Structure 1
Amino acid sequence: MSFPAYDEYEASGVLSLGLIPKHWTLKSSAMSSERIAVGLATSVTAHYRDTGVPIIRSMNIKEGYFDDSDMLYLDEEFADSLASKVVYGGDVIAVHTGSNLGLACVVPDAYDQCHTFTTLIVSPKSDLLNDYFTYCMNSAHGKSEVNRLKFGFGKDNLNVRDFKSFNTLLPPFAEQQANSSFLDVETSKIDGLVSEQRRLIELLKEKRQAVISHAVTKGLCPNAPMKPSGIQWLGDVPQHWEVVKLKRVARVNTGVAKGKDHASKKTINVPYLRVANVQDGYLDLETVTTIDILEHELERYRLVAGDVLMNEGGDFDKLGRGHIWDGQIDPCITQNHVFAVRPTAVKSRWLSRITSSDYAQFCFMTRSNQSTNLASISSTNLMKLPVILPPEDEQNEILDFIRDSTDQFDGLLAEAERAIELLGERRTALIYAAVTGKIDVREFAHQETL
């Protein structure tokens, strides 16, 4: 859909704006706001309570909406002593420091007279619509202005004095309302399409995992005679396959522990892999750190090509995830939270597929030590993993099938990710065009309300 332009434009004098509609005005935020302030800026953790006065943090500010799924509360007496710092329903709040600097939303009326922690607070004047100003803040123009006004070394900040110079476009109030209504509708449509693509991605990933798991546990022949595996949660397997414990076909090597005292001892400095380097189905080697170990320890911990790396634990999604080491860095070792499983009587590719299957992940979870959102598995329990072993030629056939299938799924996933990227670009461009007057949406906004 294309949108018309306004009849007349003039130079704005602002690089990120270019030409603006002739009947629009350009003001600083100081001139268009009743109040610009910063919320509480010192630690208030000692005053947190289970109930009391809500305190808004940066994590509650999303692009154009307020997320109250994780709220904290202040002691009422303490909050009352800082009444001058409260925000009101309808105020615009923005991230004041750190990542997502300048990201803005409107304070819901339900949070009238609550507190905020290190957020910028803007109370618009009567001729500036809060919803419209929020769209401006979150637009490419707003990001350009924030980038111009920010300061800091290592951690960016947006202070009150500088933000007062934020260039704010002011259409007539009725146009601000039309503009906001139009963007509410159009961005909602785009967000809906993005949600559909994200759901498609989840379904594709689930199907991809199911295909892999079925292939490595049931094979490719639907009519193959089956036999009980002897493992309740694994069920039947093809009759001619073996099921053995991992310790019969591989050796599990643990990594080096950090923090050892090597004072006055001869050490060498070597690269080592951490949990963050070992992802699900690939290795992230962009950032590899080093560690000092004793010279004689190198051969004990040294990785060799063909090792299957697996994470000992962490968050549930990290437990057992891993990939094959191809010797990209030599020498290289692992920290003690990453296992190097060295095959002795099984192919590395087959073992890697086995350990990433649903049944192996279930095994890891049931044998792991668990606490809130965390799990870890010992090398002893890892060695008890049942490994399914088809004949080698059948392994190769299954591995080729999985490779071809995952290539197809990966292609579909890439298409969905690209669709999301394009929708995001469309959304960004539409907001910028509307809030800077590059398009005239008054008629479209009117049609949406009919």
Structure 2
Amino acid sequence: MKTKQEHIKSAPLIASPPKSKVQTYSRYKDSGVEWLGEIPEYWEVSRLKNHINMITGFPFKSEKYTDEGIKLARGINVKEGVLDWGETRCWPKIEDHLMDYLLKDGDILIAMDGSKVGKNFCQIKESDLPILLLQRVARLRPKKTLISNYLYNNIANRNFLLWVEMTKTDPMVPHIAPSDIKNFQIVIPPLQEQTAIANFLDDKTTKIDQAISIKEQQIALLKERKQIMIHKAVTRGLDDSVLLKGSGVEWIGEIPEHWEVKRLKFIFDKIQTGTTPSTSNQKFYDGNIDWYNPKDLNNEVLIESERKLSKLAIEKKEIKFFPKDSVLVVGIGATAGKTSYLVNEGTFNQQITGFHSNTEHNKYYFYLLRNLSEVMLNTASYTTLAILNNEFFKVFNLIKPPLSEQKEISKYIETASQKIDTAITLKQEEIAKLQEYKRSLINSVVTGKVKVC
């Protein structure tokens, strides 16, 4: 197991700017903390607990949540630098025993659980209030020795994330304890410099965030372009001059006059819902046979599953192989309609339905069904939980171009998608570099490696 010092040393290093462009302090001293290195001579190193008042939230009862009232800051709302109110829960009113859990302008929140523990934090603004603090979220309120914005930048500093990586517990559900947050060591400059540093970083990081936002918008436009390209190809073909006819199906609209509309059961030779072997026999789960679940279908193309099954599960007929070159669709739950292409022979659980044709081009139908996922959900009959069962699938109408065109369309989509995906990857790499530059900048400034005032 790595020591704290080894964890810090293993962090990716960022090349320092040319010396001529970096202003430094005149005199430095050893901080006494290996990963902090040298700090300005008159700055001090101190544990966070000496400069903050910290509490964790109140255990509000979920059955008493309301749609209106005082917003509750839950772990799910605390994201990377922002409060996300996509899933808002409220409390009817502020009672006397809840006064300590009312948040104030400048409070720092840290989500204490989850895979992104150490990354999910935010700062409360006046416009956010009033808010009550829920359990599993830590509230840091600076004392007079610490400026809120300077504290925020120390939590945004990559050293804090490394500290969390060293101290968090339970790898299944990562958690950081309040005592570990309090024991995080930061560098404390005079208040006037804290303010200047916070103002400098606010200006610089805002510009970096704006640059990142522009690139994220560009990625969104590229993804939209890809979706439009695929939709046009699978529903109209590649010949813009072809004559069209009504399909007779409202959501399909017009199609090339030589294409057909067929029910799904007449296109695929094999339609099969998966199974889950008995969990009482762990020998079924000790093997190398791919067994896909809805989580695996986050990938468009399926090459290998996260979980595996044994040959015994096949021999005991707990599962059945499904052929390669097939289409898998999630049929139930929050991800119903999600569609992937199965490259190799495999198996899957009962939440997934597989489709395979011996005569049609399965890759074309992968693109078509993936494009129609929302249509399927809007067409299916269900109340609260989305369900796409075999009875629904069999009578669902699909477009049927000639086989030669299916192959041409599939090849065209692959080529065009590759170009768009390459452009998206380049934008993502640019974003990653900007994010790393931001982290490096914050670290250099709050540890005194760079002088900004």
TM-score class normalised by the smaller sequence: 0.7 to 0.9
Of 373, 380, 387, the match for 1:361: 373
Aligned residue identity for 1:312? G
Of 79, 92, 95, the match for 2:111: 95
1:407 aligns with 2:418: yes
| Secondary structure of 2:350's aligned partner | coil
| Secondary structure of 1:134's aligned partner | helix
Contact 1:367/1:381 (8 A) holds in 2: no
Distance 1:262 1:137 in 2: 46
Of 15, 24, 29, the match for 1:10: 29
Q: Residue in 1 aligned with 2:196?
A: 178
Contact 1:246/1:382 (8 A) holds in 2: yes
Distance 1:6 1:349, change over 3 A: same
The alpha carbon displacement at 1:414 in A equals 0.9
The alpha carbon displacement at 1:399 in A equals 2.4
Q: What whole-Å deviation, never above 9, does each CA across 1:239-285 have from its counterpart, x for those lacking one?
A: 3333322222213423244487999xx99987532222224521263
344-353 or 360-369, larger mean C-alpha shift: 360-369
Distance 1:68 1:210, change over 3 A: closer
Of 346, 349, 354, the match for 2:360: 346
Task: Name the TM-score, length of structure 1 as normaliser.
Answer: 0.83
Distance 1:21 1:431 in 2: 16
- Structure 2 unaligned regions, length at least 5: 1-16
Structure 1 runs of 4+ aligned residues shifted over 6 Å read 259-263, 266-270
| Secondary structure of 2:395's aligned partner | coil
1:389 aligns with 2:400: yes
Q: What whole-Å deviation, never above 9, does each CA across 1:35-94 have from its counterpart, x for those lacking one?
A: 333333x564355455555442223333444445544344657x4235455554433332
Contact 1:277/1:284 (8 A) holds in 2: no
Q: Residue in 1 aligned with 2:57?
A: 39
Of 319, 327, 338, the match for 2:337: 319
1:375 aligns with 2:392: no
The alpha carbon displacement at 1:142 in A equals 2.1
Q: What whole-Å deviation, never above 9, does each CA across 1:270-309 have from its counterpart, x for those lacking one?
A: 753222222452126341244886856468x321123322
| Secondary structure of 2:412's aligned partner | helix
1:253 aligns with 2:265: no
Distance 2:179 2:375 in 1: 58
Aligned residue identity for 1:92? I
The alpha carbon displacement at 1:149 in A equals 4.8
Aligned residue identity for 1:432? N
1:107 aligns with 2:117: no
CA RMSD of aligned residues (A): 3.3
Equivalent runs, 1:62-81 vs 2, <5 Å: 62-68=79-85, 70-74=87-91, 76=93, 79-81=95-97
Aligned residue identity for 2:109? I
Task: Name the TM-score, length of structure 2 as normaliser.
Answer: 0.82
Distance 1:156 1:240 in 2: 57
| Secondary structure of 1:250's aligned partner | coil
Contact 1:278/1:284 (8 A) holds in 2: no
Distance 1:380 1:307 in 2: 19
1:416 aligns with 2:432: no
Contact 1:255/1:338 (8 A) holds in 2: yes
Q: Residue in 1 aligned with 2:351?
A: 337
The alpha carbon displacement at 1:108 in A equals 3.5
| Secondary structure of 2:141's aligned partner | strand
Q: Residue in 2 aligned with 1:447?
A: none
Equivalent runs, 1:257-272 vs 2, <5 Å: 257-258=275-276, 272=291
The alpha carbon displacement at 1:408 in A equals 0.8
45-54 or 304-313, larger mean C-alpha shift: 45-54
Q: Which has the larger radius of gyration?
A: 1
Q: Residue in 1 aligned with 2:444?
A: 433
Identity of aligned residues (%): 24
Q: What whole-Å deviation, never above 9, does each CA across 1:396-439 have from its counterpart, x for those lacking one?
A: 32222222111111111111111111111111111111211121
Which structure carries more strand by proportion? Answer: 1
| Secondary structure of 1:227's aligned partner | strand
392-401 or 402-411, larger mean C-alpha shift: 392-401
134-143 or 157-166, larger mean C-alpha shift: 157-166
Of 47, 54, 78, the match for 1:28: 47
Distance 1:307 1:49, change over 3 A: closer
